[in-house]
Amino acid sequence: MELIDKLEILADAAKYDASCASSGAPKRSSEGKDGIGATNGMGICHSYTPDGRCVSLLKILLTNFCIYDCQYCVNRRTSNVPRARFTVEEVVKLTVDFYLRNYIDGLFLSSGIIQSADYTMEQLVAIARELREVHQFRGYIHLKTIPDADPALIDAAGRYADRLSVNIELPTQDSVQRLAPEKNVHTIKLAMGNIRLKLDEKEAEPKAPKFAPAGQSTQMIVGADASDDQRILTTAETLYGSYKLKRVYYSAFSPIPQSPKSVPLAPPPMLREHRLYQADFLLRGYGFQVNELLPQSGNLALDIDPKLAWALANREHFPMDLNRAEPAMITRIPGIGLRNAKRIVELRRMRQVRYADLARLKCSMKKIAPFIVTADYRPPRDTTPSEALRRSMADVQQQMPLWPELQAA
């Protein structure tokens, strides 16, 4: 098979893996040094086309052959999809050539399982090793690790990769056993735990060898099983606390033609994935807990964002006086983010905050108006029922499905 044909198949097969942000990578450049490539402190574009246009991250699978038969996966053993496999040398050549053509800044590499977990992991490590040691590649590398692989191989991966990821796949052990019987949640968490130990060792001893400086991440599939958003976010909250993950990524399940009967025939609402990301950000950056966002079993609202939903359910905190409120509470006001909350606190040290100040900060005025008090403003109808406010602020957006023919079926 020609290399371009492999690239078309294996780039397309990688689109289902969401965990590929590079924002945690350290700054590193080849300018004035031997080698090629660079990273920067900002997130990079994840989009990719087979001919290399408009990309900054080469996101591919080593192969989409797989000995596992995970029911939710397009590349499962029994799936009738075109198959391809790169050699180690081909992935290295693509990465270097694409960088020299200024198409990419880094590599995201995952793979189906071929022969065994150890053999597959050896191939992934060999690619990263050759890029770093032979070609002196200083760009970003994210390797998807194989949980069943020898821990020594995962340790080696961490020496060459900026970030490692181990996919938890589904939020409950029962779902993993039912839909991915070859996988084991205990083994997945054991691999996460070993990576965390290595990261802790490096943090405690700065002179220790480099190990995955951008940390580790994971991914959960949304809508492949019956788990609701509360279950998904509770699992994410546990993973953040237990394994110090940098990110949990959420990927809306997309059934493909001839999907097995063990998974849904229709995808979940695409907006559900977006709401989970918003809720996840509130957990990581705003101090929220899952039981605040979803005190009972169920899913996040689709018509309003999670912070607005919390504010409408907790009207006793509002309207909030921006000249008196605790900084942590200001961040919980709909329409005010972390940066503007900090600016508001800095401003009120010099003088009282006024309504026009918020407009100058480019806050979402429509959203914040019912929830704030300033030196010259108070909501004219601060007793408006929450349901009425919700209707006035609802904003449902449509997202394009991966398989539109299944959406229409």
Rounded to whole angstroms, the Cα distance separating 238 from 171 reads 11
Q: Is the pLDDT of residue 250 over 80?
A: yes
Whole-number Å distance between alpha carbons of 45 and 16: 15
Contact 220, 237 (CB under 8 A): no
- For the stretch 299-345, pLDDT in tens is 999 999 999 999 999 999 999 999 999 999 999 999 999 999 999 99
CB 329 within 8 A of CB 317: yes
Q: How high is the pLDDT of residue 45?
A: 43
Contacts of 284 (CB under 8 A, 6+ apart): 240
Eight-state DSSP code of residue 137: B
What is the model's pLDDT at position 333?
A: 97
The pTM (predicted TM-score) of the whole model is 0.87
Report the residue count for the chain. Answer: 409
Q: Which residues contact 90 (CB under 8 A, 6 or more apart)?
A: 3, 6
pLDDT in tens, 348-379: 999 999 999 999 999 999 899 999 999 999 99
In the chain, the percentage of residues whose pLDDT exceeds 90 is 71
pLDDT at 35 over 50: yes
73 pLDDT above the threshold of 80 = yes
Alpha-carbon span 88 to 111, nearest angstrom: 12
Q: What is the pLDDT of residues 191-218, one digit of tens each?
A: 999 999 999 999 999 888 899 998 999 9
Between 50 and 61, name the one with better pLDDT: 61
Q: Is the pLDDT at 381 greater than 80, yes or no?
A: no
**Does 220 have pLDDT greater than 80?**
yes
d(CA 123, CA 62): 8
Angle in degrees, 0-180, between the axes of helices 151-160 and 185-204, rounded to the nearest 10: 50
Q: Domains along the chain? A: 3-24+39-268 (3.20.20.70), 306-393 (no CATH)
Residue 166 has pLDDT above 70, yes or no: yes
Higher pLDDT among residues 394 and 196, named by residue: 196
Average pLDDT value over all residues in the chain? 87
Residue 156 confidence (pLDDT) above 90: yes
Contact in structure between 112 and 65 (CB atoms under 8 Å)? yes
29 versus 211: which is more confidently predicted?
Answer: 211
296-to-83, 109, 250 alpha-carbon distances in Å: 44, 38, 21
Query: Is residue 55's pLDDT more than 60?
Result: no
Judge contact between 273 and 397, C-beta under 8 A: no
Identify the weakest region by mean pLDDT among 81-85, 169-173, 298-302, 392-396: 392-396
**Given a cut of 50, is residue 41 above it in pLDDT?**
no
Model pLDDT, residue 22: 44
Other Cβ atoms less than 10 A from the Cβ of 392: the count is: 10
